[in-house]
A and B are shown apart, each in its own frame.
Chain A
Amino acid sequence: MARPLWAGSLSFGLVNVPVALFSATRDRDVHFQLLHSPDCSPIETRRVCAAEEQPVPWPEIARGYELENGEWVLLSDEDLQAAAPRQSRTIDIECFVEVGEIDPVYFDRSYLLVPPDEGAARAYALLSETMADSGRAALGRFVLRAKERLVCIRVRDGALTLTTMLFADEVRCTEEIAAQIEGAEPTREQVDSAVAVIEELGVEFDPTLYRDEHRAHLKRIIKRKQQGKKIAAPATPEKEPVTTTAPDLMGALEESLARIRAQGKTGRGKARAKTDSGAGAKAKKPHTGSHSGTKKKAPTRQT
């Protein structure tokens, strides 16, 4: 197993659960190497000391903090830990909340917590079982990479999953944008129709419905180039016809509903055979998980 990004313990009351932290996400991007164009030889980024004009090996790189007087304070890893020794090695659970209460704007990166050895497995099992039963998420905090992180921990597929969160002062207020919005509020009829469109396109969230086609497209372009084929110039972005008058929202909404429902009838649309308009109805429709008949196929897992 890969090396953990962090190792420490999860503190729940007086119970300590030793845990190791692994990323819950993996990079699937197509990566490019920078090359020197005349001979296509690889380019390396080197760290060079500006005073000595010499390459600097990684162990000699320190974190510098610039003071107001222009002087620099250098900090070692130990210094960073000394600022908050306990938080650097313990995730303190402070309370338990409903995950749904947390606005998604706070979520940052996700990690998986794993017991490092068999000795820790029982306490880990106890905590994950208890949390799964309660359906709640633990809120806690710890220091990772020189930054304190508010974290939300819950059970996902049998593993404790940790998501780092932003602090309230790191979330920008929306007022400035809201203040710029001009124009008339939509009419009741318009909102009714728009909600009807939303209900027609309603599904239960299923991440496997969506595939990164951009990544696949980029790989195909690389393949074509490798075969010596010419790559067509990028298509000019679909420019919407420039309108100078306010759009006919009601007309667009009605056309949307007609199209979605027509698709539904030919069986090419969403599998839901719901035809009732439901316009204006606030009630949620029961979600159906079935998507047979849709164009999108679940991606096949690559190993």
Chain B
Amino acid sequence: MPRSLWNGTIAFGMVRVPVKLYSATESKAVRFRERHATDGAAIEHRRMCVQEGREVPYGETVKGFEVSSGSYVTLSKEEIASADGPGAHMIEIEHFAGREEIDPVYYDRAYNLGPGKLGDESYLLLHAALKRSDRVGIGRFVFHNKAHLVALRALEDVIALHTMRFADELVPVGDLEIPAPQRKPSKLEVAAAGALVEQLNASFQPDDYKDTYRAALLELIERKARGETIDAPEPAEIAPEDDLLGALQASLERQGAGKGSPARSKAKAKTKKGGANRSRSHASKPAGSAR
């Protein structure tokens, strides 16, 4: 059993649910460490006092908030923690919403909750009610001196907690300049693109997707360890499509001739050696633009 990251209580109306928090995810990315490119030696991160030019032990440091250039207000750990307020170990469910109403852009990290001391019965009750109502509890949660919006929901036999972003943490789409096309897509193009979307319809099966890059990267590392030189990849050349309709029609034909639904070809890619299958499916594509 992994160690819990946090202990607290969920307030669901007047019902108190003592809970423990566990991480729901673990990264499987290939991990690197910083090394000095010239001699391969380890890189150490050292805290240096800018004024004195010497290394400073952590005990001699304090946190400061810059109120104006070069001028700081210092705060002790306790002072920073005082912002947590008295409800720091409490998640009050404020509302219940439909899961499909929450855009994925709000989700941050995923955790699972287990019952805390004497919490089994109230935990089972909240789980049963979340499951039957098919709703998600929305509340706020202070963790590591930071507040998060959270969603609580039934996931299999446990209650899952998702930290979410506050509305003002999203970049307004209007802040980005999206150039408008000089010529709008034609009806024929929209129809052909719609048909292609139809052809590629599938249902999401998480197990159908395997990380193929991880294996490719480890293989490359092995080659490099044997002293092989790695050729730099060709520079990318991405040209915008001029003949959108032609490319769409060719895609539809290819897809139709291939017969296999995307889910089926994916399933094959899964069982085979991944990389080989993928490169084969791309082999029919013209490199770069499809002009």
Contact = CB atoms under 8 A, between A and B. Distances in A.
A27 B108 CA distance: 13
A205 B233 CA distance: 46
Interface string A52-77: 10001001111111110001111100
Interface string B45-72: 1111111100010001111111100001
Nearest to A280: B132
A243 to B, nearest CB: 6
Contacts of B120: 181-183
Contacts of A22: 171, 176
Contacts, number: 606
Given A73-B225, A102-B104, A240-B16, A287 B98 contact: yes
Contacts of A67: 221, 225
Interface in A211-229: 211-215, 217-218, 221-222, 225-226
A273 interface: no
Given A102-B104, A143-B213, 18 more contacts: A14-B247, A16-B290, A46-B46, A61-B43, A64-B32, A96-B197, A104-B153, A115-B178, A158-B173, A172-B24, A178-B157, A183-B124, A197-B13, A210-B149, A214-B147, A238-B90, A247-B118, A253-B14
Contacts of A114: 176-178
Interface in A8-47: 8-9, 11-18, 22-47
Contacts of B250: 13-14
Contact of B86 (A27, A93, A237): A237
A112 B175 CA distance: 11
Contact of A225 (B9, B75, B142): B75
**Most chain A CB within a 10 A radius of its CB, from B125, B169, B251:** B125
Given A41-B49, A181-B115, A104 B40 contact: no
B199 to A, nearest CB: 9
Interface in A169-194: 169-172, 174-178, 180-186, 190-191, 194
Interface residues of A, number: 195
Given A75-B221, A79-B224, A222-B73, A210 B64 contact: no
The secondary structure that dominates the A interface is mixed
Interface in B70-89: 72-75, 78-89
B177 A181 contact: no
Interface in B220-255: 220-221, 224-225, 230-234, 236, 238-241, 244, 247-248, 250-252, 254-255
A234 B94 contact: no
Contact of B212 (A50, A84, A197): A84
Interface string B183-209: 111000110011011101111101101
16 contacts: A29-B146, A34-B64, A37-B61, A42-B64, A71-B225, A94-B262, A126-B244, A174-B158, A177-B113, A178-B157, A210-B166, A225-B75, A238-B90, A247-B16, A249-B122, A252-B13
